């Protein structure tokens, strides 16, 4: 655990009693702070109280006694409207931060030069984060992985010169980390996501600009920036970053020099003179299917190589072996079973159309697609070019009517309502397919909250259901 010594002797309000909230409270208390914790949910408060968490009703508290508010990243900071704790903190003139800000302050105080890689982007963050950690561990390094990937950053070990922190960051977390300054900052890509949290509901363009500006902060503050250049927003960010400091661009769509790119299936690094080196290929690696995973692998390799150049970590890596031994992540293109020739893929983490596109692009045909849930703006209309690959679709959840109207006349579909019914139908139909390797793909293109607690809960349920099949 990282002890929050920079808050010793101070009184700190903590709102949000999820995993990161509990880790934050433990860190602050261990560092010598006084904590006043609260949550809007009665069940969360009751569980915290049983665990001995110091609860204070922040609705009636004296906010002038606090030095800071540590806010859980899921709580609205600005849009659609600030949470009531945000308004109270602003009225009292105290700072509003997140748990990764505490990590950054402790790193600066104890080991300011320690290696810190921060990863963001709309899609691919978790895979890239896990892959970087995996590569460093193959080198025998102490790689501490956390943040938005599901491990609270303050539950990790303290910063040290020979300890690597690899931290996935959402836009919400970046917004709550004003002193963010990673050694290597990675920005993979940008597409519309969570725009309701970043701007006015009646102006999607303004919300997208705000979203991109928050993501840009991560690479602006880094010693070296690794930036994907396959979308217009990232290209503009790259142009601005070049004027500030070192940058390593990467692309899976075009050759670039200098930088990292995908060419004829190979992950390549080239220098300003044009000298190109083949590093590895993701072809044939089940945990890194698809072009999107080639981008993730490029970013991971670039981050480690650039860190080697900057810090001299002597990263003599067999890149092919490192990629081939990557075990993959739960809920992201996770192969959870096979029945004869039928593959079952859990892609529950695909909560928007852009993320589901990566899954649909990984197979040319014979996809038996399970989708639906709580829809996001635009639905599945951006995926129409992939409809010819889909043998049949199986609709679940709140989005069923909207998705049915999009699929009507283009893709055969079945309204299943629930995940268990959808899997039963998809497994039946895929088993009858004449295709060489039919795929039952859970890639919902939706949030999970209409029927499940989280995308993890949805993916775990799918995995259990698959394992129960004959």
147-163: burial string, b at 16+ Cβ within 10 Å, e else: bbbebbbbbbebbeeeb
| pLDDT < 70 stretches in the chain | 315
Would you state the pLDDT for residue 397? 97
Report the distance separating Cα 221 and Cα 411, nearest Å: 46
Q: Is 278 a catalytic residue?
A: no
Does residue 221 share a domain with residue 146? yes
Residue in the block written with tokens 């602006």: 220
pLDDT of residue 312: 82
Whether 200 and 339 map to the same domain: the answer is: no
Q: Are 281 and 320 in contact (CB under 8 A)?
A: yes
* Model pLDDT, residue 464: 98
- The answer to whether 148 is a known catalytic residue is yes
In 3D, which of 102, 68, 99, 101 has the Cα closest to residue 85? 68
Inter-residue contact 230 to 251 (CB < 8 Å): yes
Asked if residue 34 is part of any domain, the answer here is yes
User: Same structural domain for residues 245 and 342?
Assistant: no
What's residue 366's pLDDT? 98
Average pLDDT taken over every residue of the chain: 96
Residues facing 370 on adjacent strands? 394, 442
Q: Does 111 reside within a domain?
A: yes
Active-site pick, 22, 83, 123, 125: 125
- Verify that 147 and 248 share a domain, yes or no: yes
Residue 329 in domain: no
In a domain, 378, yes or no: yes
**What integer pLDDT is reported at residue 234 of this predicted model?**
98
Q: Are residues 165 and 310 in the same domain?
A: yes
Determine the structural domain holding residue 214 and report its residue range: 100-324
Q: Is residue 127 part of a domain?
A: yes
Hey, which residues does 414 pair with through a beta bridge? 394
The reply to whether 178 and 128 lie within a common domain is: yes
Is residue 404, in this structure, part of any structural domain at all?
yes
pLDDT per position as a tens digit, 357-409? 999 999 999 999 999 999 987 899 999 999 999 999 999 999 999 999 999 99
Residues 188 and 317 both lie in one domain: yes
Among the options 148, 189, 296, 352, which is catalytic? 148
CATH code of the domain covering residue 360: 3.90.190.20
Is the domain of 197 the same as that of 309? yes
Question: Of 76, 97, 118, which residue sits at a domain end?
Answer: 97
pLDDT tens sequence across 13-50: 999 999 999 999 999 999 999 999 999 999 999 999 99
Of 335, 332, 313, which is closest to residue 130 (Cα–Cα)? Answer: 332
Domain count within the chain = 3
Same domain, 76 and 225: no
Please indicate whether residue 352 is annotated as part of the active site. Answer: no
Q: What is the CATH number of the domain that holds 287?
A: 3.40.1190.10
Residue 338 belongs to a domain? yes
- Which of 291, 324, 357 is where one domain is finished? 324
The pTM score is: 0.90
Q: At which of 59, 82, 97 does a domain end? A: 97
The 10s digit of each residue's pLDDT in 162-202 is 999 999 999 999 999 999 999 999 999 998 878 888 888 88
Q: Are 338 and 391 in the same domain? A: yes
Q: Identify the CATH number of the domain in which residue 75 sits.
A: 3.40.50.720
- The active-site residue out of 165, 194, 233, 292 is 194
Q: Is 406 domain-assigned?
A: yes
One domain, residues 148 and 286? yes
Please indicate, yes or no, whether residues 52 and 135 belong to a single structural domain of this protein. no
């Amino acid at each position: 655990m990282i002890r929050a010594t920079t808050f010793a002797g101070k009184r700190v309000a903590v709102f949000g009693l999820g995993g990161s909230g509990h880790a934050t409270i433990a860190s602050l208390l261990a560092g010598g702070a006084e904590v006043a914790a609260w949550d809007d949910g009665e069940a969360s408060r009751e569980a915290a109280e049983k665990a001995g968490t110091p609860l204070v009703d922040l609705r009636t508290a004296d906010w002038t006694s606090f030095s800071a508010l540590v806010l859980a990243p899921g709580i609205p900071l600005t849009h659609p409207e600030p949470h009531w704790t945000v308004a109270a903190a602003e009225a009292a003139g105290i700072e509003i931060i997140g748990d990764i800000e505490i990590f950054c302050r402790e790193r600066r105080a104890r080991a300011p030069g320690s290696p810190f890689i921060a990863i963001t982007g709309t899609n691919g963050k978790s895979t890239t984060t896990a892959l970087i950690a995996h590569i460093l561990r193959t080198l025998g390094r102490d790689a501490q992985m956390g943040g938005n990937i599901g491990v609270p950053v303050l539950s990790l070990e303290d910063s040290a010169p020979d300890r690597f922190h690899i931290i996935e960051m959402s836009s919400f977390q970046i917004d709550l980390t004003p002193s963010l300054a990673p050694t290597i900052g990675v920005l993979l890509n940008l597409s519309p996501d969570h725009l309701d949290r970043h701007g006015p509901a009646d102006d999607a363009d303004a919300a997208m600009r705000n979203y991109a500006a928050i993501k840009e902060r991560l690479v602006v503050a880094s010693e070296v920036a690794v930036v994907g250049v396959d979308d217009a927003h990232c290209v503009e960010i790259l142009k601005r970053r070049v004027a500030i400091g070192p940058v390593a661009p990467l692309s899976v769509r075009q050759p670039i020099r200098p930088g990292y790119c995908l060419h004829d299936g190979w992950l390549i690094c080239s220098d300003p003179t044009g000298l190109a080196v083949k590093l590895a290929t993701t072809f044939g690696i089940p945990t890194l299917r698809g072009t999107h995973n080639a981008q993730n692998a490029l970013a991971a390799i670039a981050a480690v190589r650039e860190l080697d150049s900057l810090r001299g970590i002597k990263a003599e890596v067999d890149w092919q072996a490192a990629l081939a031994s990557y075990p993959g992540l739960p809920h992201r293109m996770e192969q959870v079973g096979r029945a004869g020739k039928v593959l079952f893929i859990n892609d529950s983490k695909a909560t928007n159309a852009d993320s589901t596109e990566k899954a649909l692009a990984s197979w040319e045909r014979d996809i038996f697609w399970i989708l639906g849930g709580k829809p996001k703006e635009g639905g599945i209309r951006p995926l129409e070019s992939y409809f010819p690959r889909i043998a049949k679709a199986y609709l679940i959840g709140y989005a069923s009517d909207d998705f049915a109207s999009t699929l009507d006349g283009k893709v055969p579909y079945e309204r299943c309502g629930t995940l268990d019914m959808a899997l039963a139908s998809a497994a039946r139909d895929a088993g009858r397919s004449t295709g060489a390797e039919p795929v039952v793909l859970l890639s919902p293109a939706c949030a999970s909250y209409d029927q499940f607690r989280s995308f993890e809960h949805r993916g775990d349920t799918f995995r259990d259901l698959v394992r129960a099949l004959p």
